[in-house]
């Protein structure tokens, strides 16, 4: 799931870059809110689409301090057991007893690779249909999973479709029953398919809003005209519109079989008992003949160069080179090559292209799939800068590697980064299961990653030079350019109007008692674990640190918040807080940015800063033995950053380019207008950067802001991982104990927002877009408001996730107007907002808005039921336990509690407070906080015709 955490910066790189399409709204609606609640508002987990994002991390310096002891890393699959059932189903199990939770994943070997022209996207459409119910359970499966408190979703990729859920251990059998049911009994009929096709088309059209998505699609089609990998994973609107029930059912019958599936179970269970249950559920599903779909042979010559001239705000490039499949012995060397060229601030192309200003950003990566793959380099280029110059700079670095080779230091750094990335991406049970499922279905070997890492260790200098020569040949390259035809760096003009019509009658909400009829029985609850509480350490300079040892993996997570967010921007210096955070890793009094980067990257560690409304979030990951390096780097940059002029100029240019992209995004524009409409003009939350304010900033401004706000007394840290408290306490004293300043914290004034007297409609227009983003809401509560827990329970009923909530049932499932609709209470240090967000076709935006408002009126006047409240409380409490099985989530929750001034035991008391909420409290909150006749409604999208 994409979690909106104002204070948290994290990154994770998976071995295979899977283009993921799923049943739930994800990156389209994800953007920073005013503030984030301490505990995550439960929502359906979602994948990042389209494509996996790779963060470039500026990183730090060597230490002479002794390293902390750590366990010797073991293989990732040493305790995995593989079983093949009589019907051919592969079962992978791994007992992990760190928390009383378990994840269940079912991976089918069907993806866009199994499609032919004319039915492109049918695997993705089928994935959606498997949530629509079965013969014995004619109900939206998302509601069943939500009732179990599952963190769940599904995705379709090139080679596979996967369904996954993580629950408390006593619900393991329930998940197995539900997954086995939909493997063989899913209902695919005309009515359900017609409605879900509208949802899928809404999803696909949302991606069309992104120029980078359109360019990537065009390049893949041009480069791979003779293979299914040239097809778009999610499909095309034209093909989806023509899908018939017979076609979709045929794919279901052909591919959804136990002998074409892998079941992965990781977590707290007994293998022998689990396998008995697996035999009882999946073992009874009959095997089927797998009808392999083959595309007709073609011999179309790949297109090597193309240019898209379409509406947009900045230039883009994307180039690909064909690669072999995942099992090819060259794969480890190709990845090491990529790390030398593009990964991290010390990589060759980052230094020669991004740090010189030729491109605003540049990313690279190798994608190796079941039947082939590609190496890809993509970049963002400021309008007015030369695309041929960028292409030549990339070719220069490739040629240099081919002729001169890499250095021993570069190879060592790349290997360290790769190995650390795998350990850091396998810290929670969901990630471990995902690695196993992906390896088994893509390569046929669940132990592939262990062998791959051994292969990485064997890579030589000669290997890297050889694969660069072999695969990065100019005559194999397909390159695409995106040149915007409409350029603006101004916020979209917004039409403002009065009240919407509201003559829509919502359907009846789902009766939880009806839902209960279809839930499988739970196992006995034998869990006796209690959540460990963090230990607080406060240094003499006022710095607070929360420490939570966790020896489950030899890794550490560092998260933190500095009270130096964008709320401190003045109108004429908007963007100052963000630029300061972006430049803090650009050098210190004793180290350059490159020195810092090489130090951390050589150990596979990372540290990053990012400003949001209520603070600067900092995040770091490392192997536990490298925690001293991580903290020494942190100590240096927060005390000694020097903001060199050349780095500042580059970062400002990147900020200006990013601003153009934001103002071309319906979601970003809607968020900006929503904030500026809800809060008074002199409120800090209404201030956003413009091209004028960014251009006026100086490096001296950053230095002044840094000295004034980056104070130990303004900083809170949380460290979770494999360490001893006493040793880390001493380390904190040595690295951060001398951090001191004479500056005092700045106090801000926050005018109290008022409800409008009637509905306010704002309609910013963005030419060239295919989908509209609508936000509805108003002022709400802060985190310490006593109504917070009741608001969470209400929110889960109303719009906590798009598959089981009232909003999802009505707007998505019954009316088919949106790919996804969510509600949330953004409760932070200051008074936040109640907000509903959805994506629709422009012609459906008004109907979806009116239907939403009608539902809110119905909710406010009639209230919710006792059964809904009970179901919501169980879901939130269960999902909370599941979330805290992840070290990153523990770190985030610990930090959030401290930021908002809550008791440290809130991490264990939260479920009890949720369970204490009453029906009367929820209905009272609905009356007080939901004001349908006084909403702010912002719809950003294409101009009305």
Element (H, E) at 84: strand 80-84
Task: Give the residue carrying structure tokens 């109290």.
Answer: 752
Residue 612, SS3 per DSSP: strand
Q: What stretches of 196-352 adopt beta strand conformation (E)? A: 261-267, 305-310, 315-323
pLDDT of residue 509: 67
Q: Are 934 and 757 in contact (CB under 8 A)?
A: yes
Q: Are 119 and 167 in contact (CB under 8 A)?
A: no
Query: Which tokens hold the place of 445?
Result: 């070997």
Out of 455, 485, 515, pick the residue that ends a domain: 485
The answer to whether residue 513 is domain-embedded is: no
Q: How many residues belong to the chain? A: 945
CA distances from 818 to 200, 561, 798 (A): 9, 35, 16
Task: Give the residue carrying structure tokens 């509201």.
Answer: 502
pLDDT of residue 43: 27
SS3 string of 631-679? HHHHHHHHHHECCCHHHHHHHHHHHHHHHHHHCCCHHHHHHHHHHHHHC
pLDDT tens, residue by residue, 875-929: 999 999 999 888 888 888 989 999 999 988 899 899 999 999 999 999 999 999 9
The answer to whether residue 754 is domain-embedded is: no
The answer to whether residue 163 is domain-embedded is: yes
Do 186 and 318 share a domain, yes or no?
A: no
Query: Bridge partners of 363?
Result: 378
Cα–Cα distance, 631 to 738 (Å, whole number): 13
The CATH number for 729's domain is 3.30.830.10
Q: Are 857 and 932 in contact (CB under 8 A)?
A: yes
Domain that holds residue 681: 531-737
Do 225 and 249 share a domain, yes or no?
A: yes
Out of 428, 454, 485, pick the residue that ends a domain: 485
Instruction: Tell which residue, 810, 813, 833, has the closest CA to residue 823.
Output: 833
Q: Are 166 and 151 in contact (CB under 8 A)?
A: yes
pLDDT of residue 38: 29
Rg (CA), the chain: 26
pLDDT of residue 221: 93
pLDDT of residue 14: 33
The answer to whether residue 96 is domain-embedded is: yes
Out of 243, 263, 293, pick the residue that ends a domain: 293
Residue stretches of the chain with pLDDT short of 50: 1-73, 489, 491, 499-503
| DSSP at 819 | S
Residue 438, SS3 per DSSP: helix
Do 733 and 861 share a domain, yes or no?
A: no
Q: Are 722 and 70 in contact (CB under 8 A)?
A: yes
The answer to whether residue 271 is domain-embedded is: yes
Cα–Cα distance, 653 to 645 (Å, whole number): 12
Do 222 and 126 share a domain, yes or no?
A: yes
How many domains is the chain partitioned into structurally?
Answer: 4
Q: What angle do CA 619, 18, 221 make, to 5 degrees?
A: 130
The answer to whether residue 58 is domain-embedded is: no
The answer to whether residue 381 is domain-embedded is: yes
pLDDT tens, residue by residue, 718-732: 999 999 999 999 999
Do 342 and 280 share a domain, yes or no?
A: no
Cα–Cα distance, 883 to 151 (Å, whole number): 8
Residues 6 or more apart whose Cβ sits within 8 Å of residue 610: 9, 578, 581, 582, 616, 617, 618
Do 286 and 317 share a domain, yes or no?
A: no
Do 548 and 595 share a domain, yes or no?
A: yes
pLDDT tens, residue by residue, 357-404: 999 999 999 999 999 999 999 999 998 999 999 999 999 999 999 999
Q: Are 790 and 924 in contact (CB under 8 A)?
A: yes
Do 150 and 276 share a domain, yes or no?
A: yes
Sheet holding 161-168, edge to edge: 80-84, 90-95, 261-267, 101-108, 161-168, 151-156
pTM summary value? 0.89
The answer to whether residue 499 is domain-embedded is: no
Do 713 and 801 share a domain, yes or no?
A: no
Do 235 and 334 share a domain, yes or no?
A: no
Do 724 and 601 share a domain, yes or no?
A: yes
Do 678 and 773 share a domain, yes or no?
A: no
Residue 310, SS3 per DSSP: strand
Query: Which tokens hold the place of 210?
Result: 């992104």
């Amino acid at each position: 799931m994409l979690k909106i955490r104002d204070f948290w910066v994290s990154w994770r790189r998976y071995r295979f870059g899977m283009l993921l399409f799923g049943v739930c709204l994800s990156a389209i609606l994800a953007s920073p809110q005013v503030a984030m609640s301490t505990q995550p508002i439960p929502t359906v987990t979602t994948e990042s689409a389209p494509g996996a994002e790779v963060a470039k991390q500026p990183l730090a310096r060597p230490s002479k301090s002794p390293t902390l002891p750590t366990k010797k890393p073991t293989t990732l699959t040493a305790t995995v057991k593989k079983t093949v059932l009589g019907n051919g189903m592969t079962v992978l199990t791994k007992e992990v007893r760190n928390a009383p939770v378990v994840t269940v994943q079912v991976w089918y070997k069907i993806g866009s690779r199994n499609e032919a022209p004319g039915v492109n996207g049918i695997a993705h459409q089928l994935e959606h249909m498997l949530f629509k119910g079965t013969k014995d359970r004619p109900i939206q499966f998302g509601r069943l999973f939500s009732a179990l408190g599952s963190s769940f979703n599904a995705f379709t990729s090139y080679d596979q479709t996967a369904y996954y859920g993580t629950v408390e251990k006593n619900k393991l059998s329930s998940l197995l029953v539900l997954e086995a049911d939909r493997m063989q009994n899913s209902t695919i009929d005309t009515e359900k398919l017609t409605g879900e096709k509208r949802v899928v088309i809404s999803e696909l059209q949302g991606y069309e809003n992104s120029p980078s998505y359109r360019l990537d699609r065009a390049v893949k089609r041009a480069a791979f005209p003779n293979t299914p990998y040239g097809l778009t994973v999610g499909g095309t609107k034209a093909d989806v519109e023509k899908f018939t029930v017979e076609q979709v059912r045929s794919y279901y019958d052909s591919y959804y079989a136990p002998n074409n599936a892998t079941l992965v179970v990781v977590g707290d269970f007994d293998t022998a008992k689990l396998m008995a249950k697996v035999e009882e559920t999946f073992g009874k599903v009959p095997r089927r003949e797998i009808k392999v779909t083959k595309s007709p042979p073609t011999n179309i010559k790949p297109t090597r160069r193309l240019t898209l001239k379409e509406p947009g705000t900045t230039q883009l490039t994307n180039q690909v080179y064909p690669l072999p499949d995942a099992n090819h012995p060259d794969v480890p060397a190709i990845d090491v090559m990529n790390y030398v060229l593009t990964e991290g601030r010390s990589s060759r192309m980052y230094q020669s292209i991004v740090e010189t200003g030729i491109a605003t950003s540049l990313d690279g990566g190798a994608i190796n799939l079941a039947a082939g793959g590609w190496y890809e380099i993509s970049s963002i280029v400021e309008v007015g800068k030369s695309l041929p110059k960028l292409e030549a700079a990339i070719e220069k670095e490739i040629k240099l590697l081919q002729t001169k080779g890499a250095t021993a230091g570069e190879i060592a750094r790349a290997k360290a980064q790769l190995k650390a990335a795998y350990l850091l991406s396998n810290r929670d049970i969901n990630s471990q299961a995902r690695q196993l499922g992906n390896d088994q279905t893509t390569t046929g070997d669940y132990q592939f990653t262990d062998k791959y890492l051994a292969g990485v260790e064997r890579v030589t200098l000669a290997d890297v030079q050889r694969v660069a020569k072999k695969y990065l040949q100019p005559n194999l390259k397909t390159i695409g350019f995106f040149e915007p035809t409409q350029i603006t760096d101004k916020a979209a003009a917004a039409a403002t109007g009065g009240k919407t019509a509201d003559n829509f009658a919502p359907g009846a909400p789902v009766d939880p008692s009806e839902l209960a009829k279809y839930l499988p029985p739970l196992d006995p609850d034998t869990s006796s674990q209690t959540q460990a509480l963090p230990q607080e350490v406060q240094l003499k300079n006022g710095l607070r640190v929360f420490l939570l040892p966790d020896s489950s993996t030899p890794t550490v997570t560092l998260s933190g918040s500095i009270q130096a967010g964008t709320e401190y921007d003045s109108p004429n210096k908007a963007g100052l807080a963000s630029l300061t955070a972006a430049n803090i890793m650009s050098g210190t009094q004793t180290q350059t940015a490159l020195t810092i980067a090489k130090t951390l990257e050589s150990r596979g560690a990372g540290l990053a800063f990012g400003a949001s409304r209520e603070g600067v979030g900092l995040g770091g990951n490392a192997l536990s033995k490298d925690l001293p390096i991580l903290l020494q780097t942190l100590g240096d940059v927060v005390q000694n950053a020097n903001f060199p002029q050349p780095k500042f100029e580059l970062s400002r240019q990147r900020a200006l380019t990013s601003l153009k992209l934001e103002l071309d995004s319906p979601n970003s524009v809607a968020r900006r207008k929503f904030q500026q409409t809800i809060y008074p003009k002199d409120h800090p939350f209404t201030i956003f950067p413009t091209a004028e304010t960014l251009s006026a900033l100086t490096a001296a401004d950053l230095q002044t802001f840094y000295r004034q706000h980056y104070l130990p007394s303004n900083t809170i840290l949380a460290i979770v991982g494999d360490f001893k408290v006493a040793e880390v306490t001493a380390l904190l004293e040595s690295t951060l104990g001398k951090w001191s300043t004479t500056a005092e914290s700045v106090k801000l004034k926050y005018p109290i927002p008022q409800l409008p007297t009637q509905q306010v409609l704002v309609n910013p227009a963005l030419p060239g877009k295919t989908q509209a983003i609508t936000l509805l809401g108003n002022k709400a509560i802060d985190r310490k408001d006593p109504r917070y827990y009741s608001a969470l329970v209400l929110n889960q009923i109303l719009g906590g996730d798009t598959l089981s909530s009232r909003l999802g049932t009505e707007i998505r499932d019954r009316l088919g107007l949106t790919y996804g609709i969510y509600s949330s209470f953004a409760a932070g240090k200051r008074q936040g907002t109640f907000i509903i967000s959805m994506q629709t076709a422009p012609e459906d935006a008004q109907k979806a808005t009116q239907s939403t408002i009608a539902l809110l009126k119905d909710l406010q006047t009639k209230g919710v039921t006792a059964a809904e409240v009970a179901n919501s409380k169980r879901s939130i409490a269960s999902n909370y336990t599941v979330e805290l099985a992840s070290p990153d989530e523990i770190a985030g929750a610990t930090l959030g509690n401290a930021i908002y001034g809550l008791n440290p035991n809130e991490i264990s008391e939260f479920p009890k407070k949720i369970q204490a909420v009453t029906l009367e409290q929820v209905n009272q909150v609905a009356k007080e906080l939901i004001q349908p006749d006084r909403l702010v409604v912002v719809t950003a999208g294409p101009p009305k015709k």
